[in-house]
Amino acid sequence: MKIIIDKRGKKYIVNNEEFQSDLGIIKKEDIEMSKIGDTIKTHLDKEFKVIKANINDYIDIMKRNCSIVIQKDIGTVISHTGVGYGSKVVDAGTGAGAIALNFGNIVGETGKIVSYEIREDFAEIASENIENFGLKNIEVKNKDVKEGIEEKNLDLIFLDLIKPYEIMEDCFNSLTLGGWLAIYAPYIDQIETSYKIAKKVGFNKLTILETLERELEVKTQGTRPKTRMVGHTGYLFFGRKI
């Protein structure tokens, strides 16, 4: 997938049709003929660079009508659980598909992601986003995961649900030996209850994490942390079937 980016850093998806923005119009034929690395101009002589979209570029500008799990938390889930090429993952709920796309991008052609979403409108948008990015290893099910996880011998189950602790036993039974359960939740009581029930069900290596992100700024006067930071977004719970 190719996208275009202006000098302000704003990114746009292009689909071989006339493009319009506040910086002017780019002709359909100019977009069709453009290649990765080209610079194309609007009728107002404003420049856009054509780049190949990676997963983060696409998620930044894809369609959504809900909040998504952001990079700092996604990265922690991936690194803590060791999910990788060939892994089989269940994700619930899907939302706009951001976490499913990240998992699908990592597990490769031999891996498989199945994402459960109870809301039909969310499931439709997520399916559209996944199809537009071109990944073939993700399946979205418009189904309540509490009705049962159909997949077995999973390497990872990731839950972004209001009451994730309601399906702990089903998660345990659906994981392969050595598989991980990961839960994202904004409130500590959700995670506390999940921890207690996961321990009772038989999960090991129980861990609760909160990832905070603070960027540094470099100025003439010196280098220091930025005043604003990405603080609390959600708590992450991990448990392993051993």
Extract the annotated binding site.
117, 144, 160
Q: Give the span between the Cα atoms of 230 and 211, in whole angstroms.
A: 9
Matching residue, tokens 């994700």: 91
DSSP of 136-176: SSEEEE-S-GGG-----SEEEEEE--SSGGGGHHHHHHHEE
Matching residue, tokens 């009451």: 163
For residue 228, what are the contacts with CB-CB under 8 A and spacing of at least 6?
Answer: none
> Which amino acids are annotated as binding site for S-adenosyl-L-methionine, given as ranges?
117, 144, 160
Neighbours of 57 (CB within 10 A): 16
CA distances from 216 to 9, 201, 229 (A): 19, 43, 10
DSSP of 26-66: E-HHHHHH--TT-EEE-TT--EEEEEE--HHHHHHHS--SS
